[in-house]
Structure 1
Amino acid sequence: MLTPQKPRLGFWQLWNMSFGYVGIQFGFALQNANVSRIFETLGASVPDIPILWIAGPVTGLVVQPIVGYMSDKTWNRLGRRKPYFLVGAILASLALLVMPNSPALWFAAGMLWIMDASINITMEPMRAFVGDMLPDEQRTTGFAVQTFFIGASSVIGSLMPWLLTNVFHVANTAPEGVVPDSVKWSFALGGIVYFLTVLWTVVSVKEYSPEQQRAFHGESEQPQSADVSQLTLDAGRYTRLGSALVAGGLLASVVIRQLSWDRGLYILSFGAGAYGLLQLVAAHRYRAGKKRGLVELIHDLNNMPAAMRQLALAQIATWFALFAFFIYATAAVANHHFGSTDPRSALYNEGANWVGVLMSVYNGVAALVAFALPPMARRLSRVKTHVVCLVIGGLGLGSMYFFKNPQWLIVSMIGLGIAWASLLTLPYAILSSVVPYRKIGVYMGMFNFFIVIPQILAAAVLGLLVRTVFHGRAIDALLLGGASMILAAVLMLRVQDQRGRT
C-alpha cells in the first residue's frame, strides 16, 4: 500500500496559512522600534535599557518550549496549533493597547514581559504549522511566505509613529514622563491588526488530523516509539550535570557580587543554576517513574538532532548582533547621527522616528528578498545561501558606525534586510526537515533558546561595555554587532544540512 503524500498547497492556501504573521510582526515591529523610547521617556537611562529588556526573552525561553510541547499533543475542535494562535492573539492585543499608557517604568517593564510572552504563544506554533501542513520540498517556500509577511507588516509597524506624525499630524512630543500620542495610537492600531489577522488564519485554515499525519508518515496506528513510557535516560548523568551547573551558578553569582561586576551578569549565573536545577528535578522524577512533562522536555533538549546543535552557535552570534541593533538603534542614531541624548528634545524624537523608518526599510527589503531565497538555495544550497546573506548583513550593520549622514543609513538597512530575510527562512527550513514530525512543535520552541540566550547575553554584556569600554557611545555596540554577524557566517559553514530539501 502506497503512503499518501502531503499535497502541495497553492498560493492562497500558503497566504492564509501564514497571514497571522502580519499581526504578529506588526506588534513585534512596534515593540522593537519603540520600547526603548518608552523606557527612556519614563526615566530609564541608556545604560540601564538592556536590563529592562530581559523580562521578555526570559519569558520566551520558558514559554516557547512549553507551548510547543503542549501543541504537539493537542487536538480539539479548533485543531492542533490554532488554539494557541487564538489565545496568544487575545493576550498580545490587550498588551499592545496597555503598553504605551504605562504610568511608570516598572509597569512598562512588566507589560513588556506580558507582551513578549503573548507574542511567543502565537508565534511558536505558527513556525511548527509550516512543518505540519507542507511537504518537505515546499517548506522553504512556506517559510519564505512567512518572511514576506514579516517584512511587509514590519514596514508599516515600524513606520507607524512617523506616518501618524507626518501624514496625520498626531503629536510626536509630550510632557516629561508621558509617551507621545504618535506612539500610543500606533500601539492601539497594532493591537487591532494583531487580533484580526490571526483570527483570519484560525478561521480560513483546516489542520490535518492526527490520523492523517500518521498516514502521511507511513504509520497505520500510534507507534510504540511514540509512547512516553518507552523513554529512557541516564539519571545519574543528569544528577551529576545538574549538580555541577547549580554549584557553578552559585559560585559565579558570589564572584559577581564580591567584585561588583555588572548586575546583568546575574542573569547568566542564575540561568546556569536554574538549568542545573531542572536536570536534578528531571532525574528525580524519572527515578520516581514520572516520565511525562518536564522529564520528556529535558530528554528532548539533551538529545537535539545534530543539525540543530550545529545551527545553535551561528544563531546565537546572529541574534546577538540583531539585539545589539534592537536595543541600541534609537540611542545610537539619535546621538551619533542627530546629536541629541535628551528624550524630550525635538532632535531626539526626530532621530527616534528615523529609526522607525530604517526598520521599515530593512523589513521591506526582507519582504522582497524572501521569494529569491528558495531558487537561490536550490542553486547554492541552503547553508551557503545563508552564509552569503549573513556576511552582507554584518557589513550593513557595521557600516552604521561610518555613515555620518542619516540618509545613508538606508544602505546599511538594505544589507541588514538581506540577512533578516535569510534568518527568518533558511534555519527553520533546515530544522523542520531533520526533526521528528511528532516533536516539531517542541523543537521549534527549543530553537528559540538560540534567540533568547543571545538576547540575554546582549543585555548583560552590552550594558557593561557601553558604560565602560564604549564610554556611553551606543553606536559602538552596533559596530560590535556587525562583527558578530560576520562571525555567525563563519560558524554557519560548519552546519550539515542533512536532508538538503528546499
Structure 2
Amino acid sequence: MLNIQRNLSNRFYAILSLPATAMGFALSVQIAAMSWILQTQFGLDVHDIGFVWAAGPLAGIIGQVIVGAISDNVWFWGGRRRPFILIGGVLAALSLLALPNIDVISTSLGIEGIVGVAITVALVLDLSINVSFNPTRSIIADVTPEGEERTKGYTWMQTVSGSFGVLAYAIGAIWNNFALIYFSVFLVLAFSVIPNLFIEEPKELKSELHPELEQTKMGFWAGLKVIQPLWGFLIYGLYALVARLADIKFDHYYIEIVCFVLTLFFVAKTLLTKEQQGGSNTEHLGFQKVLAAHSFTWVGIQSMFIYMTPFVRFNQPDIDDNALGSVVGYSFMIFNAIAAVLPVLLLQPLSAKFGAVKTHGWCIASMAVGYFVMTFMGANTYGIYMLMALLGVGWSATISLPFAIMSRKVEQSKMGLYMGLFNLSVVLPQLVASLGVGMIVGNAEDKNVLFIICGVCLAISAVCWLGVTEEKLENVEAGSGH
C-alpha cells in the first residue's frame, strides 16, 4: 500500500476519484451531445429521442445490480472492483467512438432506419458505463473508513468529476460536440486504466455500523422486497416499455396518474415507518428510506438532461442548430462548474456540522425553486445560465452526498450489491423520465411544462429527505476495519 493511501492524503482522494470521473465524463458527453446529435443530425423527434434514452436505464437495471453483486464476491487482477473498472472503461471509450457514426454504422449494416442503431449504440454505451460506475463508487467505500473520511471521499469524487464535467461542456460549447466526443475517448480510457496502479483494495470488508447484516442472504425476491419504495416506478417502466414497443398510444394520462399515486403510497409507507432497533421487519428500512427520497430527484434531473434541447428550441425558435448546441452546452458547463467547486469547499464542512442528510435536503429544496423559476426564463439565455448556477447546488449534492449517506446504512462486504440496488433509485426514475415525461413534453404545445414537472419532483424529494435519519458515528473509530 502506498503512503498516500495509508495516510488518506488529498492526493490519494484525487486519484481515487479518477475512475468515477472517467464514467462521469462519458455520461456528460452523452448528456451534452446525444440529444443534440439525434435531433439536429439525424432528425429524430422528441418521442424517439426519449425512447433512445430509455436504453440507458435498462442498462443500469441490468448492469449495476449484477456487476455490483459479482464484484463483491470475486478477486482477480489484484482486486474485486479493478477488473470491472478496466473492462467497462475500454468498452465505454469504444462506444463513445461509435456515437457520432450512427449513420455510418446503419449504412454499413444495410439498415434504413437509424432509431434501432441509435438505441443499440446508446445501450452499449450505457451498459459500458454501468459496468464501471458501480465499482468506481464502491471502491471509495472499500478503502475509506465509515464516517467523515468516507463523506470526504465522495465529495472529492464529485469535485474532481465535476471539474472534468465542466471541461466536457466547455469543449462542446467552444468547439463542437464532435470534438468533445473524440476527446472523451482518450480521457475515459486513461482515467479508467492508470489510477488502478495506485490503489490497493482490501481483501476483507467488514461493517462497524451494521454487523447484524453480515449473514443476510439477498436473493431475487429479497432484493425485490428491499426496493419496495420503487415499485411504482418499476410498474410504470414495464408498462411504458411494452406500450412503446407495441406502438400502443392513449389520448389520456390515467395510467400515469395511477402509477404516480402508487409511487407516492409506497414512498410514504416507507418514510412513515419508524426504525426500531432489532426489528426484524426494519433491517433494511434506513436503506429503503434513502431509495424513496432519492428517486424523485432523478425524475426531475433526468428530464432536464433529456429535454433541455427541445425546451431551448421552443423558447428560442430563431437560433440555428450550432447556437442551440452552444446554449445547451454552456448551460450544462455552468451547472457542472458549480457542482465541481461546492462539495469539498461547502458541502463537506456543512455535512460535518449539520449532518449529510440535512445538508442534502436543503440543496434539493434549492433545486426545486430553481426549476419553477426556469419556466419563466426560457427565452432569456442569460437567465437560463443564472438559474443553471442555482441548479448546480442541488446537482453537487445529488452526485456526492447520497452515496455517503447510503453507504452508512448497509453491510460493508455487500457494498457492490447495495450500490447496484441503490442505482435503481436512479435508473427506474430515469426510465419514467424517458418514457412518461417524454410523452407529456412531446404532446404539450408549451414545452415549459418540462420544468413544472421537474420542480414538483424535486419538491417531493426535498420533503422525503426529512424522513431519513442520520447515522450516529461517534462509536466508530476512524480507519477501523481498513
| TM-score, normalising length: structure 1 | 0.77
Q: CA deviation at 1:268?
A: 13
CA contact (8 A) 1:394 1:483 kept: yes
Q: Does 1:444 align with 2:419?
A: yes
1:302-338 Cα shifts (integer Å, max 9, x gaps): 98721221112221110000011011101111221x2
Q: Which stretch shifts more, 151-160 or 435-444?
A: 151-160
Task: Give the number of aligned pairs.
Answer: 426
Pairing partner for 1:393 from 356, 363, 367: 367
Deviation of 1:254 after TM superposition, in Å, equals 13
5 Å-filtered alignment, 1:419-434, equals 419-434=394-409
Partner of residue 438 from structure 2, selected from 445, 449, 463: 463
Does the CA contact (< 8 Å) of 1:307 and 1:498 recur in 2? no
Give 1:160's aligned residue: 171
Q: CA distance change for structure 1 residues 383 and 50 in 2, over 3 Å: closer, same or farther? A: same
- Give the direction of change, closer, same or farther, for the CA distance of 1:44–1:254 in structure 2 (3 Å limit): closer
CA contact (8 A) 2:52 2:115 kept: no
- Which residue of the partner structure matches residue 110 of structure 2? none
Distance 2:376 2:125 in 1: 35
CA distance in 2, matches of 1:39, 1:454: 22
Residue identity (%): 26
Residues 368-394 of structure 1: per-residue CA shift (max 9 Å, x gap)? 111111210122222211111011111
Q: Distance in 2 between matches of 1:499 and 1:309?
A: 18
| Aligned partners of 2:361 and 2:466 also within 8 Å | yes
Q: Is 1:30 equivalent to 2:29 in the alignment?
A: yes
SS for the counterpart of 2:320 is helix
Contact 1:334 1:348 in 2 (8 A): no
User: Kindly tell me: are residues 258 and 159 of structure 1, through their superposed partners in 2, closer, same or farther at Cα, counting changes over 3 Å?
Assistant: closer
Which residue does 1:80 correspond to in 2? 80
Cα drift, residue 416 of structure 1: 1.0
Q: Following the alignment from structure 2 to structure 1, what is the Cα–Cα distance between the partners of residues 247 and 180?
A: 45
Q: Which amino acid aligns with 1:261?
A: F
- 1:82 aligned partner, one-letter code: R
Q: 1:135 to 1:225 in 2, by over 3 A?
A: closer
Q: Contact between 1:262 and 1:460, CA under 8 Å: does it hold in 2?
A: no
**Closer, same or farther: CA 304–419 of 1 in aligned 2, 3 Å:** farther
**Residue matched to 2:14:** 15
Higher gyration radius (CA): 1
| 2:409 is the counterpart of 1:405 | no
The counterpart of 1:326, out of the listed 305, 309, 327, is 305
In 2, the alpha carbon distance for the partners of 1:91 and 1:258 equals 32
- For 2:183, the equivalent position in structure 1 comes to 189
Distance in 2 of aligned mates of 1:254 and 1:191? 31
Q: What is the DSSP-based 3-state SS (H/G/I as helix, E as strand, rest coil) of the residue aligned with 1:134?
A: coil
Matched residue of 1:498: which SS? coil
Residue-by-residue CA offset, 1:89-127 (whole Å, 9 max, x unaligned): 000000001111111332122111000010111111111
Q: Is the 8 A contact 2:213 2:411 kept in 1?
A: no
Q: Is the CA contact (8 Å cut-off) linking 1:161 and 1:356 kept in structure 2?
A: yes
* Cα pair distance change 1:254/1:100, threshold 3 Å: closer
Q: Distance in 1 between matches of 2:44 and 2:438?
A: 13
**Mapping of 1:170-249 within 5 angstroms?**
182-210=176-204, 213=205
1:68 is matched with 68
- Between the aligned partners of 2:195 and 2:361, the Cα distance in structure 1 is 32
Q: Would the aligned equivalents of 2:214 and 2:411 in 1 still touch at CA under 8 Å? A: no
* 1:343-358 alignment runs, 5 A limit: 347-358=320-331
Q: Give the alignment partner of residue 130 of structure 1, picking from 114, 136, 140.
A: 140
**Counterpart mapping for 1:367-378 below 5 A:** 367-371=340-344, 372-378=346-352
Q: 103, 119, 142: which one pairs with 1:109?
A: 119
Deviation of the 1:85 alpha carbon: 0.4
Q: Structure 1 residues 312-321 or 46-55, which shifts more?
A: 46-55
Q: Where does residue 339 of structure 1 map in the other structure?
A: 317
Q: Which runs of 5+ in 2 are unaligned?
A: 104-113, 259-280
In structure 1, give the amino acid aligned to 2:186. I
After superposition, the Cα gap between the structure-2 partners of 1:146 and 1:463, relative to the gap in structure 1 and judged at 3 Å, is: same
Aligned partners of 2:124, 2:350: CA distance in 1, in Å? 38
Aligned to 2:290: 311
Match of residue 150, structure 1, among 144, 161, 170: 161
1:381 corresponds to 2:352: no
1:106 aligned partner, one-letter code: G
Partner AA of 1:435 in structure 2: V
Alpha carbons 2:371, 2:454 under 8 Å: kept: yes
Q: Secondary structure at the match of 2:468?
A: coil
Q: Is the 8 A contact 1:334 1:352 kept in 2?
A: no
1:246-293: CA deviation from partner (whole Å, max 9, x where unpaired): xx99x9789968984279999999xxxxxxxxxxxxxxxxxxxxxxxx
Q: 1:454 to 1:253 in 2, by over 3 A?
A: closer
Cα RMSD of the aligned pairs, angstroms, is: 3.6
- Report what 1:118 is aligned to: 128
Distance 2:13 2:384 in 1: 34
- Which stretch shows the higher mean deviation, 398-407 or 313-322? 398-407
CA distance in 2, matches of 1:440, 1:200: 23
Q: Does the C-alpha gap of structure 1 residues 477 and 437 become closer, same or farther in structure 2, counting only changes over 3 Å?
A: same
1:417 to 392, 395, 406: 392
Instruction: Name the CA shift for 1:378/1:262 in 2 (closer, same or farther; >3 Å).
Output: farther
Secondary structure of 1:38 counterpart: helix
Is this contact kept in 1: 2:48–2:115, CA < 8 A? no
Find the aligned partners of 2:150 and 2:440 in 1 and give their Cα distance.
Answer: 40
In structure 1, distance between residues paired with 2:34 and 2:83: 28
Q: CA 1:309–1:354 in 2, change beyond 3 Å: closer, same or farther? A: same
2:459 aligned with 1:486, yes or no?
A: yes
Q: 1:17 to 1:263 in 2, by over 3 A?
A: farther
Structure 1 CA distance, aligned partners of 2:369 and 2:328? Answer: 18
Provide closer, same or farther for how the CA distance between residues 268 and 448 of structure 1 changes in structure 2, counting only shifts above 3 A. farther
Distance apart, 1:12 and its partner CA: 1.0
Given residue 184 of structure 1, which amino acid in structure 2 is its aligned partner? F
Distance 1:154 1:116 in 2: 17
Matched, 1:94 2:94: yes
Q: Look up the match of 1:498.
A: 471
Structure 1 runs not aligned, ≥5 long:
1-5, 165-181, 270-301, 341-345
